[in-house]
């Protein structure tokens, strides 16, 4: 499992810290439905429980998302991966890496953990088939620890 990761080595900047505290407070007041964040002392790593939406392929399944924030969050995207076992999905690799453009090239500092979660749940919910990406084995064998170091190619906007 690609648990420990590069971005958590450097502490959060003051701006990042302030923003995360705001996001955390907002989450506590108004969490996105289907998600459960067990608040810890560690502001830099959030582990979030994801509940599959009833009526979709993932209903009654629960997954763990790990979100690691870089020093210059929100200028830089957080690193988001699934803990094992990652959901079976055409865009989610068995090592938990997620092929989703907003986590990499299309990141914007106006996005939040909450909005990321909703995007991921939407990606899960719109899936029509439970399978790994076609290049799963090759990717998992060769990839770096952090998906942020992968050169992603975003090609499928249906799921």
Partner 1 sequence: MESEIGESTSRPSCSVNGGNEAGDFECNICFELAQDPIVTLCGHLYCWPCLYRWLRLHSHSHECPVCKALVQEDRLVPLYGRGKTPTDPRSKPIPGFEIPNRPTGQRPETAPPPNPNDFSNFGLGATGGFVPMASARFGNFAMSAGFGGLFPSLFNIQVHGFPDATVYGSTSGFPYGYSGAFHGGHAHGFPQTGTQVQQADNYLKMLLLLIGVSVLIALIWS
Measured in whole angstroms, the distance separating CA 47 from the mean position of its chain's CA atoms is 10
* Residue 39 CB, nearest approach to partner 1 (Å): 11
**Residue 128 in contact with partner 1, rule: CB under 8 A:** no
One of 17, 99, 117, 143 is an active-site residue; which one? 99
**Residue 74 in contact with partner 1, rule: CB under 8 A:** yes
Q: Using the CB atoms, write b or e for 68-91: b if 16+ within 10 Å.
A: bbbbebbeebbbbbbeeebbebbb
Tokens representing 89 are 């999905």
Question: 3-state class of 51 per DSSP?
Answer: strand
Q: How many CB atoms lie within 10 A of CB 41?
A: 5
**Residue 10 in contact with partner 1, rule: CB under 8 A:** no
* Residue 26 CB, nearest approach to partner 1 (Å): 5
* Residue 83 CB, nearest approach to partner 1 (Å): 27
**Residue 76 in contact with partner 1, rule: CB under 8 A:** yes
**Residue 138 in contact with partner 1, rule: CB under 8 A:** no
99 classed as catalytic? yes
Catalytic positions are 99
């Amino acid at each position: 499992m690609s648990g420990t990761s590069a971005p958590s080595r450097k502490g959060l900047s003051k701006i990042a810290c302030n923003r995360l505290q705001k996001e955390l407070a907002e989450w506590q007041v108004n969490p996105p439905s289907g998600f459960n964040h067990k608040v810890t002392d560690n502001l830099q790593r959030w582990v979030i429980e994801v509940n599959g939406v009833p009526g979709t392929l993932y209903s009654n399944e629960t997954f763990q998302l790990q979100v690691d924030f870089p020093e210059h969050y929100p200028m830089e995207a957080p690193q988001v991966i699934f803990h094992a076992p990652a959901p079976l999905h055409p865009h989610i690799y068995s090592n938990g890496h997620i092929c989703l453009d907003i986590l990499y090239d299309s990141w914007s500092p106006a996005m939040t953990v909450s909005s990321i979660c909703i995007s991921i749940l939407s990606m899960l919910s719109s899936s029509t088939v439970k399978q790994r990406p076609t290049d799963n084995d090759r990717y998992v064998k060769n990839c770096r620890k952090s998906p942020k170091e992968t050169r992603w190619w975003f090609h499928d906007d249906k799921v």
